Amino acid sequence: MGNFNELSFMVGGFAGQGVNTVGSVLGRICSRAGLHVFINLEYPSNIKGEHNYAQVMVSEEPVGSHVSSVDLLLALDAKSVVLHKDEIRPGGALIYDSEGLEVSPVDAGLKVGDIGRDDIIVIDMPMAQIAKDVGGSKKMINSAGLGAVIGMLRFDFELLANMLRQFLAKLGDKAVEANLEGAGQAYNIAREKYSVQVGIVLEERDAPDRMHLTGNQAVAMGAIKAGVKFYSAYPMSPSSGVLAYLSKYARDCDAVTILPEDEISAAGMAIGASFAGVRAMTGTSGGGFCLMSEYLGLAGMAEIPLVILEAQRPGPATGLPTRTEQGDLKFVLSAHQGDFARIVIAPGDVSEAFYLTFDAFNLADKYQTPVIVLSDKHLAESTWTREPFETTGMTIDRGELLGAEELASISDYKRYRVTDSGISPRALPGTPGGVFKATANEHNEYGFISEDADNRTCQMDKRYRKTSSLDVSEIGAKLHGDPEAEVTLVGWGSTKPVILDAMTQLKEVHGIDCNFLQVIYMEPFPVDHVTRVLGSAKRSLLVENNATGQLGQLIRQQTGIVIDDQILKYNGRQFIRDELADLIQQRLQVA
């Protein structure tokens, strides 16, 4: 059984072997060759020794999710053979090196033993010997491995050669040549001896240039497009990629990034910078957001724009630091004492991560309140291909800011003036005529502390009134697919790509017609839109990557609609396309 321009590839190894690099180099080669790519990365919270794997999905059609079967497994260590050989589909292939196979120190003594799969093609590729012959280090095993994979797929060697030249340039010409030589030897062996038998062929396609990017990169680019000038963050998986990306480009973007003593300080610095007038952002995961929640309320009370990325991982506490979950929805909606207006947006893919992060800055400025962009490990660190984002028409709205001239015409400037919209024009420190106080205490229109009872009610109402003009009825949720479908799947965030792919599979394989209601704005909530869709849905099924169906609870709270049918996964891993399709199909068989 052969595949043409369709591939489910897996590379496994132990932390430190370069599994992620092998996966992303292969993905990028395919992406440059005009194919669509999705990469799911699974790794533990460990730097050296524990098991890692990357699954690279390649297709001529857009692909957003991974499947449970593997066409081709490249095992860089013994454990990868043992753990993943049974995931190889019948007729698929295992590439490993029986002589040079490494064993992680944490698996000392582990033997591959009998592969026990007569229905797959086992390819014993002397990658270690090749690396040695070309005078290379152990790292060159990965180049040989990539050569073997590319050869196996009868793909053009030059695609790999160009990529290695680019990625390894910093190692010098000699190292590049040795890597190319090793890759070439493995390529020839694989292509000549095994590729016909394996029967999976990738071929270059004419296609527009496509980016190969993660959700973290998309968030960071959205922030840069929005003119972010200050990003303060404490490292925490899976948000750290944003700090790395913005730090790399900070000088080019006239921005400052800083890693302070803790997440509290990260939020405080961003608030200080925003108060001074620049667009400022902080980023973290749920644990760090716990610490930031104190400052969240200051931004709410003092009406200081603030954009926060919360890239979720499974909790509570340290939880599963490098895995995925959608467990913080209720937390970000209610974090901090008291009531204040906040905006919570959940992008579902890399494109939405880019555009919604950009929007978050406009919303923060316009409504002078914190805006949380809710991502998760799966969106933050998985890789998808996308055409470059269309940026024409993206306009920056700094909201109501007063300059010196405007302030000169105001005789009695009140920073927290009670207005019909609730939005009070803001002066920036350094501007003559605008001196005012901001405070964490309840305050009067000037910003001075006030404990007056009527003033309290008035200021609370004013702050709440601000976001009432934010109309999310159109943008707050999206219905994907046929509105008349038999089944309405309901979800949010990073499950979007796998739900859409599962819908296609359900239609093609089982003839089941589903649509998908994706909720994007969690606060303010698109009440009418969701009520309308669910009110007319023939059957609704909630799909979430958490233990308690948090979106389901929110929908019930906001609309009164209860979705009893729920598919919940909370083992720290994203849904797999066929797993989700099967779960939905099984659920539908129950009357």
Q: Of the listed pieces 4-12, 39-47, 428-436, 513-521, which binds another protein according to CB under 8 A?
A: 428-436
Q: Which is nearer to another protein, 196 or 396 (CB)?
A: 396
- Strand 514-519 versus strand 487-492 pairing type: parallel
* Type of residue found at 372: I
Least separation in angstroms between residue 395's CB and another protein is 9
Least separation in angstroms between residue 275's CB and another protein is 6
Least separation in angstroms between residue 439's CB and another protein is 4
- Strand 477-480 versus strand 514-519 pairing type: antiparallel
Least separation in angstroms between residue 438's CB and another protein is 5
C-alpha–C-alpha distance, residues 502 and 525, integer Å: 26
- Which spans in 39-139 are helix H? 78-84, 127-133
Going through 288-364 in order, the beta strands assigned E by DSSP cover 306-312, 343-345
- Is 160 a binding residue for another protein by CB under 8 A? The answer is no
Spacing of C-alpha 411 from chain mean position = 49
* DSSP track, 499-528: HHHHHHHIIIII---EEEEEE-EEES--HH
Q: Identify the residue among 221, 489, 520, 541 touching another protein (CB under 8 A).
A: 221
- Which spans in 322-349 are helix H? 329-334
* DSSP track, 126-151: -HHHHHHHTT--TTHHHHHHHHHHHH
Q: Which is nearer to another protein, 379 or 563 (CB)?
A: 379
Q: Which is nearer to another protein, 66 or 210 (CB)?
A: 210
- Is 32 a binding residue for another protein by CB under 8 A? The answer is yes
Can you give 409-423 as a three-state secondary structure string? CCCCCCCCCCCCCCC
In angstroms, the Cα distances linking 374 to 3, 227, 284, 313, 331 are 37, 20, 10, 11, 11
Least separation in angstroms between residue 276's CB and another protein is 4
Q: Of the listed pieces 102-110, 386-394, 469-477, 578-586, which binds another protein according to CB under 8 A?
A: 386-394
What residues numbered 442-481 form the site for another protein, per CB under 8 A?
447-449
Q: Quote the DSSP letter at residue 190.
A: I
Least separation in angstroms between residue 441's CB and another protein is 7
- Is 227 a binding residue for another protein by CB under 8 A? The answer is yes
Q: Which is nearer to another protein, 218 or 514 (CB)?
A: 218
Spacing of C-alpha 475 from chain mean position = 20
Least separation in angstroms between residue 404's CB and another protein is 9
Q: Identify the residue among 79, 85, 229, 313 touching another protein (CB under 8 A).
A: 229
- Is 254 a binding residue for another protein by CB under 8 A? The answer is yes
Please identify which residue in the block is written with the tokens 């159109």.
Answer: 474
- Is 60 a binding residue for another protein by CB under 8 A? The answer is no
Q: Identify the residue among 235, 433, 507, 513 touching another protein (CB under 8 A).
A: 433
Peptide bond into 90 cis (omega under 30): no
In angstroms, the Cα distances linking 187 to 55, 180, 248, 390 are 21, 10, 35, 38
What residues numbered 255-284 form the site for another protein, per CB under 8 A?
255-256, 258, 260-262, 264-280
- Which spans in 35-84 are helix H? 78-84
Q: Quote the DSSP letter at residue 294.
A: H
Q: Which is nearer to another protein, 274 or 488 (CB)?
A: 274
Least separation in angstroms between residue 217's CB and another protein is 7
- Is 165 a binding residue for another protein by CB under 8 A? The answer is no
- Is 441 a binding residue for another protein by CB under 8 A? The answer is yes
Q: Identify the residue among 391, 536, 571, 586 touching another protein (CB under 8 A).
A: 391
- Is 374 a binding residue for another protein by CB under 8 A? The answer is no
Q: Checking phi first, is residue 97 left (phi over 0); if not, alpha (psi -120 to 50) or beta?
A: beta
Q: Quote the DSSP letter at residue 405.
A: H
* Type of residue found at 75: A
- Is 210 a binding residue for another protein by CB under 8 A? The answer is yes
Q: Identify the residue among 110, 253, 470, 547 touching another protein (CB under 8 A).
A: 253
**What is the contact surface with another protein in residues (CB under 8 A)?**
31-32, 209-213, 217, 221, 224-227, 229-230, 232, 249-251, 253-256, 258, 260-262, 264-280, 294-295, 298, 302, 388-389, 391, 396, 428-441, 447-449
